[in-house]
């Protein structure tokens, strides 16, 4: 059975390969490693996302060598980095560094080293209007680049209400990016395309979330948003959650075999344009 965790973080100071082995031992087969800022690389000092992105790529390669998993990678300038940058420089300079990070990620798509730009977006907590406007400008630029290189974006934003889905969908339209190529990471379980404006929800796989999602249909992805933080070993969810939950839902009839195939193979192939087999 093919089982994908759509959003899984790995840190050099975390469990990294061992966490991926937990996922594999539970029945996981495919993993998308998503970039997060690394303590080893401070963008306000380096003014370049490239070295940090390369660390994420090297950690993903370490997982490939240490497991039998098929591993994919997404990288992009993490939205909250903008707030740290403006503590050290002007807002226009910070915007340029974030946009440059988008360009670096787009180049990695062209080189077939990553399959999406992300996670990008805007802070998930209230910020002043200047930061919010700058974040939307940076996000729109990332969407435009994704449209040009033919890849999805993976979004980190505030909680996705119907209004937020609609706003993000309209931004994608302006950028020329297909709505189904916009993956809403940490999505609320809103699966109906009329309600989520055609974006693709990637849902944190708590039992409650997935039961609510599957009651609406199987057009979604499953994720743990595992943080690989030794101080919070199970945050957001543990690395084995997606395969364990998928198998349990198949066994109790919550999922059909068709649902499993759709969620873990057909949907990711549609979104990312890659073979997931």
Segment 57-89, tens digit of pLDDT:
999 999 999 999 999 999 999 999 999 999 999
Cα separation, 269 vs 33, whole angstroms: 16
DSSP string, 185-253: EEE-S---HHHHTT-EEEEE--HHHHHHHHTT-S--EEE--B--BTTBTT-SS-TTHHHHHHHHHHHHT
What mean pLDDT is predicted for residues 45-52? 97
pLDDT value at residue 231? 93
What mean pLDDT is predicted for residues 41-50? 96
pLDDT(115) > 90:
yes
From 179, 200, 189, select the one nearest 32 (Cα to Cα): 200
pLDDT confidence of 152, banded at 50, 70, 90?
A: very high
pLDDT value at residue 82? 98
pLDDT value at residue 29? 98
pLDDT(277) > 90:
no
**Mean pLDDT, the chain, whole residue set:** 97
The residue with greater pLDDT, 275 or 170, is 170
Q: Are strands 4-8 and 30-34 parallel, antiparallel or unpaired?
A: parallel
Cα separation, 136 vs 86, whole angstroms: 16
pLDDT(45) > 90:
yes
Domains parsed from the chain with CATH numbers: 4-272 (3.20.20.140)
Cα separation, 107 vs 186, whole angstroms: 26
């Amino acid at each position: 059975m093919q089982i994908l965790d759509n959003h899984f973080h790995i840190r050099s100071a975390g469990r990294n390969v061992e966490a991926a082995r937990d996922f594999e031992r539970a029945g996981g087969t495919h993993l998308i490693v998503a970039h997060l800022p690394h303590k080893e690389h401070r963008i306000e000092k380096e003014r370049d996302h490239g070295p940090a992105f390369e660390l994420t790529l090297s950690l993903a390669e370490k997982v490939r060598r240490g497991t039998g998993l098929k591993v994919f990678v997404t990288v992009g300038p993490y939205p909250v980095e903008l707030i740290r940058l403006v503590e050290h420089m002007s807002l226009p300079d910070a915007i340029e560094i974030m946009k440059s990070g988008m360009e670096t990620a787009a180049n990695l798509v062209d080189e077939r080293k990553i399959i999406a730009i992300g996670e990008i977006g805007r802070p998930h907590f209230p910020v002043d209007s200047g930061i919010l406007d700058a974040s939307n400008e940076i996000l729109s630029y990332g969407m435009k680049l994704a449209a040009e290189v033919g890849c999805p974006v993976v979004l980190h934003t505030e909680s996705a209400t119907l209004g937020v889905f609609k706003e993000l969908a309209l931004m994608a339209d302006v950028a020329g990016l297909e709505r189904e190529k916009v993956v809403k990471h940490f999505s609320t379980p809103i699966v109906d395309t009329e309600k989520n404006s055609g974006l693709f929800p990637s849902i944190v796989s708590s039992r409650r979330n997935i039961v609510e999602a599957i009651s609406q249909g199987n057009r979604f992805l499953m994720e743990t948003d595992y943080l690989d933080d030794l101080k919070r070993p199970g945050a957001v969810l543990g690395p084995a959650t997606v395969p364990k939950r998928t198998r349990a839902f198949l066994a109790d009839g919550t999922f059909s075999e068709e649902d499993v195939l759709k969620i873990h193979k057909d949907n990711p192939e549609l979104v990312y344009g890659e073979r997931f087999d």
